[in-house]
Copies of this chain bind each other. A is one copy, B any other.
Amino acid sequence: MAGKKVLIIYAHQEPRSFNGSLKKVAVDELHKQGCTVTVSDLYAMDFEPRATRKDITGPLSNPKFFSYGVEAYEAFKKRSLTSDILDEQKKVQEADLVIFQDKLALLSITTGGTAEMYAKTGVSGDFKYFLWPLQHGALHFCGFKVLAPQISFAPEFASEEERKAMVASWAQRLKTIWKEDPIPCTPSWYFGQ
């Protein structure tokens, strides 16, 4: 949809990978719609995933007993978090899709295992089980409305044709992404009745 801002948080090390293709079609399709698209390419940025006291610049609020939650909250108020965190927070705040509060988020994931392995009775259990901590524990907790995930199962074991079909179905879905309703992010969505 023209004018919308989309942030893609991308985490794969090989640009020529299947994940790279999924990212590319998303950028292309959303550009075609007139969206502004920002990509946070975490590996290319060498993004620091550890939450440590190095995230706080300047003096600690309680240097005798380090609590990450307390210090990060104080530093957030004083804007004394490190610049890599401030930069990402700004991107999230500005985005309409993938955004911090009361906006939309969508997980696009590729798996190693096949769809059968991620069935309720498969060796890996229902794929929704591993989405729970991410979609519910992190995204829903932070106030996101969560769109249905886009799961591309086992591209490694798929034929070239199947892979192209997966990429195409992702591009197709993005055409009408702005009309989708969020999922009900409740235990029953994840774990059945």
Name A residues whose Cβ lies closer than 8 Å to a Cβ of B.
Answer: 13-14, 16-17, 43, 49-50, 52-53, 65-69, 112, 120, 124-126, 129-130, 132-133, 136-137, 187, 190-191
Contacts and interface: CB of A to CB of B under 8 A. Distances in A.
A129 to B, nearest CB: 5
A190 B190 CA distance: 12
A60 B126 CA distance: 35
A129 B190 contact: yes
Given A125-B132, A191-B191, A65 B13 contact: no
Given A50-B49, A120-B187, A187-B125, A14 B67 contact: yes
A13 B50 CA distance: 11
B52 A43 contact: yes
* Residue with the highest number of chain B CB atoms closer than 10 Å, among A14, A53, A69, A124: A14
15 contacts: A13-B52, A13-B66, A14-B65, A17-B65, A43-B52, A125-B187, A126-B187, A129-B129, A129-B132, A129-B187, A129-B190, A129-B191, A130-B132, A130-B133, A132-B132
A52 B69 CA distance: 28
B187 A14 contact: no
Contacts of A129: 129, 132-133, 187, 190-191
The 7 residue pairs across chains A and B that have the minimum distance between CB atoms: A14-B66, A130-B133, A125-B187, A129-B132, A191-B191, A13-B66, A49-B49
